[in-house]
């Protein structure tokens, strides 16, 4: 339907399409009446016309024209002309009335549109005044904020100056005490070493908090580290070593950030061999699970990486605590290498992030924590973004969705019996996964349930679970005399989508399949390795190659016109 406002506006800007019709004078009937009157006078009173000089002397009408039938026919023709003119006049009068009514309607619309435009102008003027007032208030707030910022910045500079003196004193005392190596036991030595590392970490935090541009500050440090790293590669002589180590191992930094958050810090975190090529799996903590692969080293300060990861882990820990407690509801951390970049992923069961907010969450002051007892300052993810920018890396957030699936389950019993089941995983109205036995011709579909259970009179000796359309099969050999065993989805160790539990009994066994709710959020960080920065490898250009081909495809037809 057309907008009334737009119709009114169009009416005001354009004249009416049809003008009112004019009422024409009945010339035909008038002339016919004059001719009829002259004819009747000439036929009935010719003497009168001669006296008036309208008829010459001696002129007489034809005898046929003086007959009564001819006079009646002339009167009839005149009457028909009168009726014709009356009909045309009435029709034109009705059309004229319609045109006048249309003009009145258009004038009313113009008047109404004028009133609406005046009302809108008044409303917009009020909004403009409010907007001016709002902008002026915000400008005053920003001016006051800038003044306070400059004031506190000067205070921070003074505190930093005095803090440097205090830090040097404490660091010198700890370092000299560590160099003496006079400790009664290893525990005391480790405590002093941790205190020395904590002081270095505190100094790096103060250094970042007082800089104007975190990304630029880290980028400058990376340039210096890149120079030292290149010199170390060129110098084979140990005597020409660089002043400090310009690179670090990401797995060591990851463990350094993760260890304080674990309930019981495993001893293998301290005894980790940096040269090990095996994956490190931490799966015994109720809040975290970690899968850490060895990677190439990164340039820069290790504490910057630790700060970035601590903010991601604490953000994930906050949302994980809001979910119902479950042994499967844990924060997942993975570390690996993707080409010439180190890939770090942190997954949590937090609520999904809207597409419009995926860029806003990294802005300063933006926080998704709206609970009264948790007032987020919007600093954690901002630090993450700035540190990643300083590394010339990338950080992105992804929503992890539950999805339906089919699984083929084969169960072997002690007596040789083999049972095969097809499990269908569906989603309910809330998006939660539920499972049921797949529908067949002989068995109709069952309602979805949280778990599926099988009870057998014979002991279970072997279980195989294969996702439909995949060649990866989980084969589980069981000892009938053993205890309960639980296996998770091996294809997705960080975010397992199902759990399989086998419980042996004295007579028989029980098997339980549980689809897991993995809906959450995953933060992925990609950082260039030290070798890629020195060698100048740019994977972004390689990744853009398919896109460049797609962009060039519309212009392939123009190749024939080239010289």
Condensed to tens digits (0 to 9), the pLDDT of residues 194-209 reads 777 777 777 677 666 6
pLDDT at 547: 47
- For residue 373, what is the enclosing H or E element? none
117 by DSSP, 3-state: which?
A: helix
pLDDT at 246: 87
> Whose CA is closest to 333, among 356, 310, 351, 355?
310
pLDDT at 13: 43
Helices 68-180, 186-209: crossing angle, 10 deg rounding:
140
pLDDT at 5: 45
How would you write the pLDDT of the chain (563 residues) with one tens digit per residue?
Answer: 444 444 444 444 444 445 666 667 777 777 777 777 777 767 767 767 666 766 677 666 667 776 777 777 778 887 888 788 788 888 888 888 888 888 888 889 999 988 888 888 888 888 888 888 888 777 776 666 555 555 555 555 555 556 666 666 676 777 776 666 666 676 676 677 777 777 777 767 766 666 778 888 888 888 888 888 888 877 764 444 555 688 899 998 998 888 888 876 554 454 455 556 788 888 888 888 899 999 999 998 888 899 899 989 988 888 777 665 667 778 999 999 998 999 999 998 888 888 888 888 888 767 665 544 444 556 788 889 999 999 999 999 999 999 899 999 998 888 888 888 889 999 988 888 999 888 654 555 677 888 899 888 888 888 888 888 777 788 888 777 777 888 888 888 888 888 988 888 777 888 999 999 888 899 999 999 988 887 766 555 444 444 445 555 554 544 444 44
Q: How many CB atoms lie within 10 A of CB 344?
A: 26
335 by DSSP, 3-state: which?
A: strand
Give the sheet arrangement for strand 474-477, strand by strand. 433-437, 418-427, 405-413, 460-467, 474-477
Q: How many CB atoms lie within 10 A of CB 395?
A: 20
Alpha carbons within 13 angstroms on the beta-carbon side of residue 130 total 6
pLDDT at 269: 53
pLDDT at 265: 57
For 199, phi then psi, to 5°, come to -65, -40
> Whose CA is closest to 193, among 206, 180, 174?
174
Alpha carbons within 13 angstroms on the beta-carbon side of residue 272 total 23
Alpha carbons within 13 angstroms on the beta-carbon side of residue 55 total 18
Reported pTM = 0.63
Token reading at 355 = 């597409």
CATH 3.30.365.10 assigned to domain 211-236+244-401+522-537? The reply is no
* Residue corresponding to tokens 């309602």: 447
* Residue corresponding to tokens 């010439």: 340
For 110, phi then psi, to 5°, come to -60, -40
For 399, phi then psi, to 5°, come to -90, 125
Q: What is the DSSP string of 481-545?
A: TS--EEEE-SS-SSS-SEEEEEEE-SSSEEEEEEE----EEEEEEEEE-HHHHHHT--HHHHHHH
pLDDT at 138: 73
pLDDT at 415: 85
Q: How many CB atoms lie within 10 A of CB 135?
A: 10
Condensed to tens digits (0 to 9), the pLDDT of residues 249-279 reads 999 899 888 888 887 655 445 445 555 678 8
Q: Name, in order, each residue with C-beta under 8 angstroms of 201's C-beta and a sequence gap of 6 or more.
A: 303, 306
> Rounded distance, CA 210 to CA 206, Å?
6
């Amino acid at each position: 339907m057309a907008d009334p406002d737009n119709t009114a506006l169009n009416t005001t800007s354009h004249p009416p399409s049809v003008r009112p019709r004019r009422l024409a004078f009945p010339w035909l009937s008038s002339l016919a009446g004059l001719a009829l009157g002259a004819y009747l006078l000439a036929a009935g009173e010719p003497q009168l016309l001669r006296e008036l000089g309208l008829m010459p002397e001696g002129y007489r009408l034809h005898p046929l024209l003086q007959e009564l039938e001819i006079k009646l026919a002339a009167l009839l023709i005149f009457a028909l002309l009168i009726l014709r003119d009356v009909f045309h006049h009435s029709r034109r009068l009705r059309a004229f009335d319609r045109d006048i009514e249309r003009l009145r309607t258009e004038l009313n619309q113009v008047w109404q549109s004028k009133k609406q435009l005046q009302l809108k102008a008044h409303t917009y003027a009020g909004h403009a005044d409010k907007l001016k007032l709002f902008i002026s208030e915000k400008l005053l707030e920003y001016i006051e904020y800038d003044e306070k910022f400059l004031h506190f910045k000067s205070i921070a500079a003074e505190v930093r100056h005095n803090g440097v003196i205090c830090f040097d004193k404490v660091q010198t005392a700890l370092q000299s005490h560590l160099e003496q190596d006079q400790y009664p036991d290893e525990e005391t030595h480790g405590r002093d070493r941790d205190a020395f590392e904590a002081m270095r970490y505190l100094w790096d935090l103060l250094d970042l908090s007082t800089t104007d541009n975190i990304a630029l500050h880290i980028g400058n440090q990376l340039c210096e580290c890149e120079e030292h790293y290149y010199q170390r590669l060129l110098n084979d002589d140990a005597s020409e070593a660089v002043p400090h180590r310009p690179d670090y191992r990401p797995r060591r930094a990851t463990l350094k950030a993760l260890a304080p958050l674990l309930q019981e810090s495993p001893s293998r975190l301290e005894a980790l061999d940096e040269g090990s090529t095996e994956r490190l799996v931490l799966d015994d903590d109720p809040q975290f699970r970690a899968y850490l692969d060895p990677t190439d080293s990164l340039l820069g300060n290790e504490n910057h990486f630790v700060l970035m990861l601590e903010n991601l882990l604490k953000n994930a820990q906050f949302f994980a605590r809001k979910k119902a407690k479950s042994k499967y509801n844990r924060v997942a951390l993975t570390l690996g290498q993707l080409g010439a970049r180190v890939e770090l992923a942190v997954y949590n069961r937090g609520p999904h992030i809207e597409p419009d907010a995926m860029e806003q969450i990294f802005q300063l002051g933006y926080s998704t924590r709206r609970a009264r007892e948790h007032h987020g300052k919007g600093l954690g993810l901002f630090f993450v973004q700035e540190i990643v920018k300083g590394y010339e890396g990338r950080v992105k957030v992804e929503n992890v969705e539950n999805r339906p699936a089919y699984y083929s389950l084969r169960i072997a019993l002690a007596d040789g019996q083999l049972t095969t089941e097809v499990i269908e995983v569906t989603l309910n109205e809330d998006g939660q996964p539920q499972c049921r036995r797949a529908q067949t011709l002989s068995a109709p579909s069952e309602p979805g349930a949280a778990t599926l259970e099988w009870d057998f009179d014979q002991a279970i000796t072997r279980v195989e679970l294969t996702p439909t359309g995949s060649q990866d099969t989980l084969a589980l050999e069981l000892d009938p005399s053993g205890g309960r065993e639980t296996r998770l989805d091996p294809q997705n160790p960080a975010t397992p989508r199902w759990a399989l539990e086998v419980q042996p009994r004295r007579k028989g066994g029980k098997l339980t399949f549980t689809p897991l709710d993995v809906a959450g959020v995953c933060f992925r960080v990609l950082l260039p390795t030290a070798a890629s920065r020195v060698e100048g490898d740019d994977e972004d250009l390689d990744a853009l190659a398919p896109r460049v081909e797609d962009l060039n495809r519309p212009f392939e037809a123009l190749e024939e016109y080239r010289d």
